[in-house]
Structure 1
């Protein structure tokens, strides 16, 4: 997910995407704990996407407050 794609989203869409990624992160952690995780790179990608979404959401809130 690119930052430009996230910036084009509304705050509701960002919230929905964030919720979806957090569920995926939980499932990936569960798979890793049980030894069923095949794509280990996805854990890192999801973590970074969550951080990207949260950062841009915070930027949007700060811009609207000004």
Structure 2
């Protein structure tokens, strides 16, 4: 997911997005553990998407506090 797409969302939507990404990442980790994951780059992509979403969420929360 691109940062520009995340910036258009509000805080509750971003929190839901982070939760969804964490669940997806957990599922990928379980697939890796059971030797079912064929595309290991998905782990890297979801980790980066989570970090991107959390960063934008923190920026929005900090901006709302001022």
Query: Normalised by the shorter chain, which TM-score bucket?
Result: over 0.9
CA distance in structure 2 between the partners assigned to 1:64 and 1:13 by the alignment: 15
Deviation of the 1:9 alpha carbon: 0.5
CA distance in structure 2 between the partners assigned to 1:52 and 1:18 by the alignment: 9
CA distance in structure 2 between the partners assigned to 1:21 and 1:50 by the alignment: 6
Q: Once superposed, which parts of structure 1, at least 4 consecutive aligned residues long, lie more than 3 Å away?
A: none
What's the TM-score, normalizing by structure 2? 0.95
CA RMSD, 1 decimal: 0.7
What's the TM-score, normalizing by structure 1? 0.95
Aligned residues: 66
Q: Which runs of 5+ in 1 are unaligned?
A: none
2:44 aligned residue: 44
> Which deviations, in whole Å up to 9, do the C-alpha atoms of 1:3-51 show, x marking residues without a partner?
1100000111111111111111101000101110011111000000000
Deviation of the 1:55 alpha carbon: 0.4
